[in-house]
Structure 1
Amino acid sequence: MRDTPVRFSPEDRERAARLVLQQQSEHPSQYAAITALAPEIGCAVETLRRWVRRYEQGPGKDGMADARERIAELKRAVLRLRQANEMLRKASAYLAQAELGPSAER
């Protein structure tokens, strides 16, 4: 095993994924092709498998983009709801104070 991990450029990752897809017809399965090619490329089998999955998803899709968008949308909704809740809390306190009248102020 290596002491420090090897960093591959995005171009190298894409090239490796394309190589797997080209070579998979020569193997019984895509995973068999990944297993055979990973040592030649110099990376772990699981790493190469992830690169292939990302490549198959297409550019700009990392599998988590939709989840990140949804999380951001939910955070905005939570913020709006908190602001509305605070406004309702203040209005409720104001109306309760008005209902008690000036004698409640001490």
Structure 2
Amino acid sequence: MAGRAGRYPPEYREQPVELARAGRSPGSLAREFEPSEQTIRNWVRQADVDEGRRGDGLTTEARRELSRLKRDNKRLRVERDILKKAAA
């Protein structure tokens, strides 16, 4: 499963997150579930942000919206540049 971010479905992430919250170490979970210790720590942190337990990050929904807006902004800049060249 090598590749890009987001390769593990949310359903897969739930179990290691709950076990980590119950006191299991990220190291033992990494050996059992495959992702690295840091990945499991990141999942727990993101789940805490999404559920309002932490306030020091963007929720998953806010991250998606930010990505969408950046993509739209990039597309609009390209379109603007094309129109500038066509008008010149």
What's the TM-score bracket when you normalise by the shorter of the two chains? 0.5 to 0.7
Structure-2 separation of matches of 1:49 and 1:62: 19
The answer for unaligned runs of 5 or more in structure 2 is 52-58
Code of the residue aligned with 1:42 in structure 2: it is: F
1:48 corresponding residue in structure 2: 40
CA RMSD of the aligned region, Å?
3.5
The structure richer in helix per residue is: 1
Number of aligned residue pairs: 76
Code of the residue aligned with 2:44 in structure 1: it is: V
Structure-1 separation of matches of 2:76 and 2:49: 29
Compare CA radii of gyration and give the structure with the larger one: 1
Superposition pairs for residues 52-63 of structure 1, below 5 Å?
Answer: 52-58=44-50, 61=60
Structure-2 separation of matches of 1:9 and 1:82: 38
Query: What TM-score, normalized to structure 1?
Result: 0.47
SS, match of residue 23 in structure 1: coil
2:26 corresponding residue in structure 1: 34
What are the Cα deviations for residues 15-64 of structure 1, in whole angstroms up to 9, with x where unaligned? 2102212327xxxxxxxx3235433x333312322322332343881785
Structure-2 separation of matches of 1:62 and 1:34: 25
Percent same amino acid among aligned pairs? 20
SS, match of residue 44 in structure 2: helix
Report which structure shows greater RCO (CA 8 Å, sep ≥6): 1
1:11 corresponding residue in structure 2: 11
Code of the residue aligned with 1:13 in structure 2: it is: R
Query: What TM-score, normalized to structure 2?
Result: 0.53
